[in-house]
Structure 1
Amino acid sequence: MEATHRVLVVDDSEVDRENIRRLLAPDYSVLEAASGSEGLGLCEKERVDCVLLDHRLPDVEGIEMLHDLVERELPVLMLTGQGNEALAVEAMKRGALDYLVKGQLQKAGLRRSVKNALETSGMRQQIARQEAELRQYVKELDEQRESLQRSNQRLMESEARLRVVFEQLPALAWTADRELVLTSLAGEVARRTEAPPWGSRVERLFGGGAPTDAHMQALDGNSAHFEVTLADRVYDAHVEPLMTDGDVSGVIGVALDVSRARVLEQQLRHSQKMDSLGQLAGGIAHDLNNVLTVISSFAQFVKDGLHPQEQAYGDINEVLRAASSAENLVRQLLTFSRQRPSQPRVVDVGELTTNVTPMLRRLLGETFKLEVSIPDAPHTVYADAGSLEQVLVNLVVNARDAMPEGGTVTVEILREMVGNEPCLDLEPGAYVVLAVKDNGVGIGPDVVERIFEPFFTTKDQGKGTGLGLSTCYGIVQQARGMILVETEVGAGTVFRTYLPESSGVPETERRPSAPPAAAGSETVLVLEDDPQVRSLIARVLTSHGYQVVETESAKSAQLAAERTSKDHFALMVADVAVPDGVGSEVARDLKKLHPRMEVLFVSGHGGGALRARGVSEEDTVLHKPFTAGELAKIVRKCLDRRSRDV
């Protein structure tokens, strides 16, 4: 039999060690130590399965060494030369598995004691391992239980937070079974709409039609969308099949409030439509300005050559009056397209309203009552005062025309803080609101969508141009504001004009200084692509003594400048837009050849349209249509400025 277990015999008696070796051989491998220290050393170096320990050793008491061996979890059999019951009890208490008397050792008994010790040690080790494994298992179970408890707690907290958040969201969530009976319903909308309780069919919540069709598609295993209106709000709904064990057991849906998005989309479409109309109106107005400038100026030339008593003199006056009316229409078109020239300054809307109130009363007449509410504190905006006055007058006249039998027109000025309201396409901040209210017939929904379009009117033929409200729209847009209409058929209308509040101090309107003398002898370069307008400018300037060089394009103007000496041209009169260039860029190039040359831009546009073409606020601009006198005066003003700069 192969020796598998190693027994350490610690005894200072060589005879006793040899005897034990003989008794255990050949089934056990025996290690020998003559002292305690030698025995402990072997335990450190060799594998030891069992120890036979003499209670008396030369360097240590066996009972003391027993403690170290038990700590190493080694089975120990105590040896003694004579029986001592007290010693045996003490050894057993300290961990020895048996107590043997060396003089009484028999082969079978010794082998049985060693075998029992090894089995006991093995069982103890197995029990210890199992206990350790059990403790580890229990520990892991405790950790898993605690982790599960924490996860459950986090899940409950997350569900609670999600429930609170979802209940506050402008949304609706629901589930329904295969019979489309609601099995759950949640969301802020459910509370606000007094939605039907669980157990009701989805038709009670959404109505029939598209919503029901969408739910039927979901029951067939397909996703579906639909839009629905609940409590005056628009919701975009998404429905999915609810699966259980691979089968469709019902539906689950979510509906989100898209009312603000729909309002913004409508505002965007309206803004795009108005921008397109503005571009069209601006283009028409620009072409008409050229024609009217020529008509008015040449009609004035004819008038200047006639005697007041002549029949043609009166006829020409009618032409000039008609041209003036046409110019007014063009100005309104330019205002609508936000291309009308303006002179913005800080204006107190309350003071402006007070000043214009007497005129408003005259416009309304005796059958109307005008109520004006103006706050004591200044309500200032940065805008063109004349244009704001026109807005107020147009809105009051519009209110008057909405009450054929008479009524009350209310004008109110107030301050309002604007946030992110979907109905107001404005930057958040403080606004001055000019409200004009009537108790007239109101405006129908089909009409209210078009009231700001140019030439659109509901008045009888000959009683309106259709440019009043479109002019107001353009003025307010140019001032970075908006007009909001609140109306109900049969109950009247309120126009609320929102203008950004200004923190500046109201400015007094500057009075124009006395016009300078118009004649001169300098050389003027004219750049104008319209031959009639170019001919008119040349005629006016020539008649006032100036030398004129006419050019119709950027290229011809460049050639004219290159063919003359430096500073030959004292002034350049340039249209802002020419077919082969931009007037401002041409002027900058030509000033390199004629550094002291002044520049006068001529344009039918204003504001942002001029800025887009490179014309700054410091540049001098003559707006079309203009008279011969206006042209001569501003030319002289530019040339006099050149003389002062020498």
Structure 2
Amino acid sequence: MRALFVMRKSRTDDMGESGPGKALGENEERFRLMVEGSEQVFFYIHDLEHKIEYLSPSVNSVLGYQPDHYVGQPYEVMLTGDPSDELVAKLTDSALRQGSGRSTYSMLARHADGHTVVLELVESPVERNGVVVGMRGFARDITERRRAEEALRESTQTVRALIEASPLAIVTVDLERRVKLWNPAAERLFGWTADEAVGRVEPHVPETKQSDLKLIREQALCGEGFVSFETQRMRKDGRLVDVNLSASALRNGTGALSGLMGIYADTTERKRLEEQVRQSQKMEAIGQLAGGVAHDFNNILTVISAYSDMLRQSFGEDDERRADAEEIHKAADRAAGLTRQLLAFSRQQVIQPKVLDLNRVVTEVEKMLRRLLREDVQLTTILAPGLGRVRADPGQLEQILMNLAVNARDAMPDGGTLTIETSNAPPGITGGANPGSVVLLTVKDTGTGMNAETKARLFEPFFTTKEVGTGT
């Protein structure tokens, strides 16, 4: 690191070659010899004209010129033309007039090869007989230091931008577990704002996970960073959230441990999808089992259907038992429809949609629905005359109505009304079909209804509000 020792001097009368003047001259000569042997540059400026009287030889190593290049010229010849030059000159004038020193400051100087050198200067006034006659100072080349500071500033800004933009929650704490950094992703994941979290002892760590935290801290503080630790953290509203945690120790400038950094990935959605995959695998296994059962059950239904048909034909038209035999036959047909659904579920038989009368489907399933409902639940059907035909699998329509009826029954523990209504859709509702060619099947009840959270998950394939062992 090179430095300039600078002296700026105001013009004054010569004090002579004897007495105090001679002693002062000898002192200055000794000081000059000391400076010229150092790696610092000393220069002298005449009063308000800023003319340089002296520079030590080491100016050559800093600015590339010999001292004679500057002596007799205003020090402004060193400057680069930067807008800050004007301020440097004004402050120098003010210091000379007031006879006051200047705190450390920097200025830009031009090297002989054209590049810019950053100088740091420390100055003080020179007085003789109480009169300010100049300004002396040290100038040091801090170009490399300034570059390092700028690089560090850019690096810090880059790291800050990465932390702010990270989709992962990043939290740093000191050795007392007080939060020092809480990025926007942490705000979104845990619910606390940075202002609320910083300075507090880790608000997102629930009591049930304190033992895990102790293990994490001990491992990280020993310098053993780790990744992908599955755990839970707490949101501001008290709910637990599944997270994947990676952590490492933080060290200060001396290398001593200063805290911990944790990076959190929300695994709630991933775990939900994993659970759906497991459910799908279970359903696939059930489907294979259902296919085998359906074939065997269908054989039994064929026998029941045949015997019920024979029984029905054996009774006369006025015989009351004939109606019972017909109900047995219809039940066997509906059961056969269920086996078709099981086979479709197991991919061993395709769905069989056909053009049908929706009113007739509702009428045929109505008797079965009344047996499923309790006495305190009233079933009402409103069937529109002139209803358009639809193309659908009748067995699946019946199953849908049965499931909805059972759900409605469970939603009305104190009784109520279940209404099934058919209608031709008004012109504004098309469902992707041609206007006027859509039929509506509406099922509504007077039960407890669904909250917003349940509505948001209404069409998830494996979502249910039923307890284990209940539902359809």
Structure-1-length-normalised TM-score: 0.35
Higher Cα radius of gyration: 1
Structure-2-length-normalised TM-score: 0.46
